[in-house]
Each structure stands twice: as C-alpha cells, then as structure tokens.
Amino acid sequence: MKVLAVNNVDLSINEGEFTAIVGPSGSGKTTLLNMIGGLDNITHGRVEISGTDISTLTDNQLIDFRLQNIGFVFQAYNLIPVLTAKENVEFIMLLQGISEKERKLRSEELLRDVGLVDKLNVRPNQLSGGQQQRVAVARALASKPSFILADEPTANLDSSSTANLLDMMAEMNEKEKVTFLFSTHDQRVIDRAKRIITIEDGKIISDERT
C-alpha cells in the first residue's frame, strides 16, 4: 500500500519568519522539514529555495547548496563527540573554506551569543543537554545560512533550558535576520511562533499568523 507522507502541500515561507509546523505524531512534520532541507527526496513537485529548485540538483550540488544556505538543528543535537564546542561550531566553516582567523572570531562570537563563551574547549559529553543544543544552534548559524530548520529542538530539554533556547533563537532571528522553521509538539515553541502551520495526514489543514 502506498503511503503519502506529505500530500499536495503548497507552502511558501518568507524571509525572516519564525514559523512552527505542528501536528500529531506521524502527520508528516519531520518528513516535510526533511524535504525542504533536501534530506528526503520528493517523488512529485518541487522545493524552491531562494530561486533554486533543489529537487533538480545532483547529490554533490545539493550537499553544496545545503552547506551554503541551510542550517540544521536536530532533536539529538548531532554534535561531533571528539570535537570541542568551538570546533563543532567551526566545522561547517571549515567545509566552506573560511580562513582560520575568521572561523575563530565567528565561532567565539556565536558561542558568546548563546552564553557558552566559557565552554569553548569543552567536549559535548561534558555539557548538559541544553548547552549541547545551544552549541548546535551556534553551529547552524555559523555558515550564515538563509534559514534554519529545527526538528523538535526542545524535545529533550527542561523548561528552563527551553526558555533560554527560545529566547536565544528569537534574538538570533532578529539580529541575524535568519528564517526559523520548526517542527514541534512543544506548546512552548508554538506560543513563541509568529506563524503556525498545522499538518495532519500529510496535508496542511491550517496556516495562521499570530
């Protein structure tokens, strides 16, 4: 039996938005986010980002496009365990070919912005869950992406860590002018979103601005 994880979705996200995609488990939220980020292939239609239809790109072109344009924040953090916080943030910039001096300055600035300037040389296993997620957000911002895709970024965090993370993301949204698109069950995230898109059975059933 064929299952349509995302079905006939027509969606536009404007630059600088702070948007949450919500819906029950299995509704297609994460699949939609992964399709937008080029992590899952689409079978019909297209995904256009800043004028580029990413569904037409080769694997290598897509990797390069993601590297230059999209930041990812995952529920599981996905930090590199053998690297320090600073090195994790620098890693994307290293792939981009940015100079060592610029990598150092930007990574330290971002970790200062997320309140972790005292954790520059600490590895992930020595950080709390909230601290690891803040490193992940700093890493996502390091490449100066057009937008950040955040899949359940607060799922493993306590209330205090969630509030701090959302405050920081909202500030980054204003300061860096980066578009944020969340997939979430978390009412705390939903309450902070400026646009809420509800999806069920792979279809958008409502799209509201707050």
Give residue-wise pLDDT tens across range 164-173.
888 888 888 8
Is residue 93 a part of any domain in this protein? yes
The helix/strand/coil state of 180 is strand
Q: Which residue in this structure is represented by tokens 């300055």?
A: 105
Per-residue model confidence (pLDDT) at position 150: 92
Are 46 and 121 in contact, with CB atoms under 8 Å apart?
no
In the chain, the number of structural domains is 1
Distances (CA, A) of 155 to 46, 131, 158: 30, 14, 9
pTM of the model: 0.86
Is residue 2 a part of any domain in this protein? no
Query: What is the four-CA torsion angle of 21, 196, 184, 147, rounded to 10 degrees?
Result: 60
Per-residue model confidence (pLDDT) at position 177: 82
Is residue 10 a part of any domain in this protein? no
Domain range for 92 is: 18-209
Per-residue model confidence (pLDDT) at position 115: 84
Are 2 and 43 in contact, with CB atoms under 8 Å apart?
no
Are 181 and 17 in contact, with CB atoms under 8 Å apart?
yes
Is residue 4 a part of any domain in this protein? no
Say how many C-beta atoms besides its own lie within 10 A of residue 194's C-beta: 14
Give the CATH number, domain containing residue 179: 3.40.50.300
DSSP 59-90: HHHHHHHHHHHEEEEETT----TTS-HHHHHH
Is residue 5 a part of any domain in this protein? no
CA 70 to CA 67: how far, in whole Å? Answer: 6
Query: Which residues neighbour 73 within 8 Å (Cβ) at sequence distance 6 or greater?
Result: 133, 136, 137, 140, 148, 149, 150, 151, 153
Per-residue model confidence (pLDDT) at position 2: 46
Q: Which residue ranges of the chain lie beneath pLDDT 70?
A: 1-7
Per-residue model confidence (pLDDT) at position 196: 96
Is residue 116 a part of any domain in this protein? yes
Is residue 32 a part of any domain in this protein? yes
Is residue 128 a part of any domain in this protein? yes
Per-residue model confidence (pLDDT) at position 6: 66
Per-residue model confidence (pLDDT) at position 145: 86
